Amino acid sequence: MKVNVLEKSKNELKIEIVGEGHTFCNALHSALLKDSTVEFVGYGLAHPLVAQPTLYVRTKGRRRPENAMIEAARTLGKEVEEIQEAFESALKKEERLQSHAKT
C-alpha cells in the first residue's frame, strides 16, 4: 500500500490510498468517525477498477488530522489482530473436537 498526501493544512488532510478500494476505505472511515476530535471524514472512489481512492479528514480544534489518521490505523490493526486470534482459537477448538470424536 502506498499513500500520497494530496493536500494538508492545520485541520485538513486529503490523501490518495494506492491499491485499496471500498473495503479498506470504509473501515478507515468508520474508525475515524469514532474519534470525537474528527469533524468530518469522507472518501471517494471514481471507479472501483481503475481509480485510487481519496480520503479527506477535517479535525476540530488543535488536533492534527494526521494524528487522527495514525490512531485510526492503529485501531484497525488491533481489530484485525483480535479477529485473527479469535479465528485461530476457533480452529484449534474445532481440531480438538474432531480429535476427540475420532477416539
pLDDT digits (tens, 9 = 90+) for 90-101: 999 998 888 888
Rounded distance between C-alpha atoms, residue 41 and residue 56, angstroms: 6
Instruction: Please give the model's pTM, rounded to 2 decimal places.
Output: 0.81
How many percent of the chain have pLDDT more than 90? 76
- Binned at pLDDT 50, 70 and 90, residue 89 comes out as very high
Q: Half-sphere exposure of 91 toward its Cβ, with a 13 Å CA cutoff?
A: 6
* CATH no. of 2-102: 3.30.1360.10
CA-nearest of 20, 27, 35, 23 to 79 is 27
Lowest-pLDDT range of 45-49, 52-56, 83-87: 45-49
